[in-house]
Each structure stands twice: as structure tokens, then as C-alpha cells.
Amino acid sequence: MTTRYTVYRVVINEIKAEMKTQGREDEFAGLKIIYNTLRIVSPEELELHLEQCISLKQEFRDLIAGKSRGFDLVGHEDGAESKPLIDYAEPLLRFGKKHPDIPFIFHAGETLGDGTAADMNLYDAILLGTKRIGHG
């Protein structure tokens, strides 16, 4: 994990250094991550992504935490390969119970039509305890 995500720390340090040269070091608000994966993965693959999310949070505690940062599933909801949120309910519910400090922030209801099965993602997102839907 370290080499893959060290880039975040490098970017933060470079921004802080540049702002310091400008006398603005106190203005840096920070960088936060919404860990996401595509909604085409299998529930078993999702488990691996959830574990990676935890590892990332443990290594970089200040990057994935608190308000409006967390975990998301992204991708076309009405795409042929996309899976509805309900397919991921079991691993997501387990994750949410074990790690309530990493909120769910699901993209849901972002389709080109209405009245399709993808609409159920809105209900499922709420039932799974999402803190935010889509971009806000």
C-alpha cells in the first residue's frame, strides 16, 4: 500500500511547501479521499477493495475520515455490466458495522431514464446508510 498511495503525501507536502514560500501555509485546507471502486466488481472483489480502504485509512489516517470522505461504488448504474447496490448489501453492511467511521457515499439514481431497476439504487443507498448520494 505504501508505494501506491505515497503520492498523496508527496502532493500534500509539495502544496504545503509552495504555500509556505508564498506566506500562505495556514491557508492549506487539506486533502481527503473518497475511496471508490467500480460497480462491476463481484461481491468477493468488493471485499478486497473494502480491505484496501481500511489499509489506506490505517496508513494515512488523515485522508479517509469524517465528513464527506468515505467509500463509494461508481459507474453507470444502468450499464450492462453494472451491478445494483443490493448485490453488495452483505459485504457493505458488515463493513459499515465494523467501520462506522468510514461513511458510505454512494452514486445512486444517476441514470438517463426513470422507472428502471437502477432506480432501486436510491432506496438501497438510503437503507445501507449512505451519508451522501452522488455529488451531494
pLDDT digits (tens, 9 = 90+) for 61-97: 766 654 547 899 998 888 888 899 999 999 999 999 9
Location of C-alpha cell 508564498 = 22
Active site annotation includes 47: no
pTM: 0.79
pLDDT under 70: residue ranges of the chain: 1-5, 62-68, 136
Q: What angle in degrees, to the nearest 10, is found between the helix axes of 43-59 and 89-98?
A: 20
Strands (E) across 1-136 are located at: 35-38, 71-74, 105-106, 132-133
3-state DSSP call for residue 45? helix
Tell me the C-alpha distance between 123 and 91, whole Å. 17
Residue from 47, 59, 76, 110 carrying the catalytic annotation: 110
Check residue 86 and give its pLDDT. 95
Domain ranges of the chain: 1-28, 32-133
Of 75, 78, 82, the C-alpha closest to 118 is 78
Helices within the chain (DSSP H only): 2-21, 43-59, 89-98, 120-127
Check residue 3 and give its pLDDT. 58
With contact defined as beta carbons under 8 Å apart, do 63 and 7 qualify?
Answer: no
Of 15, 115, 133, 22, the C-alpha closest to 74 is 133
Active site annotation includes 76: no
Q: What angle in degrees, to the nearest 10, is found between the helix axes of 43-59 and 2-21?
A: 40
Tell me the C-alpha distance between 88 and 38, whole Å. 12
